[in-house]
Amino acid sequence: MSSTRPGAHHLVAILAGVAANLILGFSSLFWKVFAAIPPATLLGYRILLSLATLIVAMALLGRLRGLWGRLTWRVLAIHLVAALFVVINWGTFIWASMVMSSRAGWVI
């Protein structure tokens, strides 16, 4: 039997979703600071920091050992394709954000 109340998981999910959207919304305030950094560099930092955060979180939760037992070539290939899509998505987002902010500067 679970010790949590029914619906508590839904509340946590809703709060996590709201927090993620707020963080994403406020992160756009910092794009002017990053304007001088090339998009590929920003994307590289995002990848490395995400990987480091994931490794630390998995280590703290004690799930790093379980990961090694489940890795297969098929699983790695699926994650590689997914990572490629994320890189394309974020690369496009960063490039478009910089292009649009530079164009907005000409209009203003």
* pLDDT for 105: 52
The pTM score is 0.55
> Tens digit of pLDDT for each residue in 58-75?
999 888 888 888 889 999
Non-local (6+) Cβ contacts of 10 within 8 A are none
CB burial of residue 94 (10 Å; 0-12, 13-18, 19+): buried
CB distance 43 to 87 below 8 Å: yes
Q: Give the rounded percent of residues in the chain with a pLDDT score beyond 70.
A: 83
Quote the CA–CA distance of 36 and 51 in Å, as a whole number. 24
Lowest mean pLDDT among 67-71, 78-82, 100-104: 100-104
Torsion region of 7: left, alpha or beta (phi above 0 gives left; psi -120 to 50 gives alpha): left
Strands (E), 34-81: none
Mean pLDDT of 69-97: 88
